[in-house]
Structure 1
Amino acid sequence: MSEFLFILTNVMLPIAIIVLIGYVMQLKLQLDRPTLGKLMINYIMPGFIFMNLYNTDIDFSLLLYILMFLFMFAVISYIVSRVIAAISGVKEEHKVLFTNSSLFYNAGNYGVPVNDLVFKSDPFAMSVQVMMVVFQNIIAFSYGVFVLSAENVGKFKALLGYFKMPIFYGLFLGLLFNYFNVGLPEPILSSLDYIRNAMIGMVLFILGTQITGIKFKKLRMTAFAATAVKLLIIPALALPLLLLFNVDGVVAQAILITTAMPASVNSSVIAQQYSKDPEYAAEIVMMSTLLSAVTVPLVIYTALNMF
């Protein structure tokens, strides 16, 4: 019990305080949320990803193994969520949104701060987290857009859109410079370090501002079902799969904890642009974010004691 309370007070509470500050500031000042989102995606996150990959001693065979695991886990999560959607009587127009809420979790502006606090800024643990952030962005802005925007944009154009994102180049150059041991001038490293250090506070603040923009008219039972799938069933699926693949230590802990993150705001953002009922996605994001304050500490406790 003491360890669980420690997680609540030393991991979840600091996160909640900054998110609350962002929420209140947004209500008071009416900040431009799209601009803040662009700031995170195009400035903070690419610099953060680059520096973590550049400075970490990466085992590239382990990296490939992690990505293969995440891909297989995404496929299993998709199948399970589709089955549950059918059993739960989810309407046809909501099935994609129901499934997306399971596939797209908040590995970035929620998962990164959790990782930083749980593992005490361990660069190896953060490199695993970065892989999950990148993987989440890839499927959110490729598959996630494909399934909702085929009629409007086209799959090829949506795929090209991902390769225009600075996050992709932060990943690519970070891995490339690490692999070939490319040295960078000290002024460049210092400036990138400042960006990396701004990451935690900024993304949590931005998460708080984003939550104020999630509005919904009523709570539907199938949205509750989607929230339960995301917060309970998805991490429960990850646990035996990690054991089956013999993934252990910090890698297993970081992956399991991140699978317990709430539905990503990206799923709501994509739905706002491409779905006929974006309120449904917003309901799931809001409920999963609020209820994760209870479920995430439980998963952290489980991860730290099982691996």
Structure 2
Amino acid sequence: MQHIIFIFTDIILPVFVLIAIGVLLQRKFKLDMYTLAKLNIYFLSPGLIFIKLYDSSFSLSLFFSVILFCSAFVAVLFFLSAATGRILKLNEKMKLSFSNSVMFYNSGNYGIPVNDLVFKQDPFAMSIQIAVMAFQNTLLFSYGVVAMNSINTGKLKAVLAYFRMPLFYAMFLGILFNVLNISLPNFILTPVTYISNSLIAMVLLTLGAQIAHIKISLTYVPLYLSIIYRLIIGPSIALVALLFLGIDGIIAQALLISTAMPTSVNSAIIAQEYNSEPEFAGQTVIASTLFSSFTLTFVIYIALIIF
């Protein structure tokens, strides 16, 4: 019991304190979400992704193994959520929004701070989380956007949006410089490190600002199922898979913890953009984020005990 209390107070609560500050600042000052989003996407996140991959002692085989695991994991979630949507006889937009709320999780502005706190800034553990985030972002801004857009207009231009973002190039260069053992001069490495160090507080503040005005209704069955699938069923599937595959150590711990994150804020953003049940999408984000304060505590405990 002491371990669980320690995890909640020393890992989960610090995250929610910063999220709460973001909520309060947004309600008081009406922060410019467009500017915050641009800072996170084009300035802070690329800096962290690059420096963590550049400093990490990972291998390309490990990187692609993480991507393969994530692909299989998301595929299982897709079939599970799609079958549930058919059983509940949801309309096409709701089916898609429901599936996205289960498949796409907050591996960036929630997963990175949690990983940082759990593993005490271990570059190896962070590189695993970065790989998960890269996969999630690529899938969300390709399949997720195209699937929603096709319902309304059938346009596929959004599939290229991810490759216009610096996240992809930061990941590529970080891996390249690491593998080729290229040393950067201090006048480049120092500012990139400063940028990376400032990310965690800013992304959590941004997350709080993003969910500040979302209203939640806990009387809708798909919302309950989305929370259960995302926070309980998903990590359970991942745990069984990791044990079956014989994966252990930090790799297994980081992967299991990464699967327990709440629904991605970006899934709600694209639902709003393409008018695909945006109210439901927003509710899944805030509800799963709130409930994750409890479920994630136990997943972290299980990960550290079993692996």
What is the CA–CA distance in structure 2 between the aligned matches of 1:108 and 1:10, rounded to whole Å? Answer: 20
Point out where structure 2 has 5 or more consecutive residues left out of the alignment: none
Query: Does residue 291 of the first structure (1) align with residue 291 of the second (2)?
Result: yes
- Specify the alignment match of 2:136 in structure 1: 136
Residue 209 of structure 1: aligned partner: 209
Partners of 2:258 and 2:153 lie apart in 1 by 32
Per-residue Cα deviation, 1:249-304 (whole angstroms, up to 9, x for no partner): 11111111111110000110010011342101111111111111111101111111
**Alignment of 1:104 onto 2:94:** no
Question: What's the Cα RMSD here?
Answer: 1.4
217 and 69 in structure 1: CA distance in 2 versus 1, 3 angstrom threshold: closer
The code of the aligned residue for 1:166 comes to P
The residue that corresponds to 1:13 in the other structure is 13
The equivalent residue for 1:197 is 197
TM-score (norm 1): 0.96
> What is the CA–CA distance in structure 1 between the aligned matches of 2:153 and 2:275, rounded to whole Å?
11
Distance across 2 between alignment mates of 1:29 and 1:153 = 38
Letter in 1 for 2:5: L
Number of equivalent positions: 306
How far apart, in 2, do the equivalents of 1:248 and 1:111 lie? 20
Name the CA shift for 1:104/1:276 in 2 (closer, same or farther; >3 Å): closer
Per mean C-alpha deviation after superposition, the further-off stretch among 138-147 and 223-232 is 223-232
What is the Cα deviation at residue 217 of structure 1?
6.9
Alpha-carbon distance in 2 for matches of 1:169, 1:276:
30
State the alpha-carbon separation in 2 of the partners of residues 236 and 12 from structure 1: 20
Letter in 1 for 2:85: A
Q: Is the 8 A contact 1:268 1:278 kept in 2?
A: yes
Change (3 A) 1:83 1:153: closer
Which shifted more, 82-91 or 40-49?
Answer: 82-91
Letter in 1 for 2:301: Y
**Equivalences for residues 1-307 of structure 1 within 5 A:** 1-150=1-150, 151-152=152-153, 154-155=155-156, 157-215=157-215, 219-307=219-307
Return closer, same or farther for 1:36/1:297 CA change in 2, 3 Å cut-off: same
Encode CA deviations 1:53-103: one digit per residue, 9 max, x unaligned: 011112111111111111111111111111222334433330001100111
Once the two structures are superposed, residues 220-240 of structure 1 have per-residue CA deviations (whole angstroms, 9 ceiling, x without a partner) of 221111111111111111111
Q: Measure how far apart 1:162 and its partner are.
A: 1.0
CA displacement at 1:120 relative to structure 2 = 0.8
**Matched residue SS, 2:198:** helix
Cα distance in 1 for residues equivalent to 2:170 and 2:61: 20
Counterpart-to-counterpart distance in 2, 1:47 and 1:107? 16
- Work out whether residues 21 and 205 of structure 2, in 8 Å CA contact, stay in contact via their aligned partners in 1: yes
One-letter code aligned to 1:180: L
The answer (yes or no) to whether the contact 1:90–1:222 under 8 Å persists in 2 is no
User: Structure 1: 5+ residue runs without aligned partners?
Assistant: none
Question: SS of the counterpart of 2:196?
Answer: helix
CA offsets per residue over residues 138-173 of structure 1, 9 Å max, x none? 011001101001243622x22211110110111011
- Residue aligned with 1:105, SS: coil
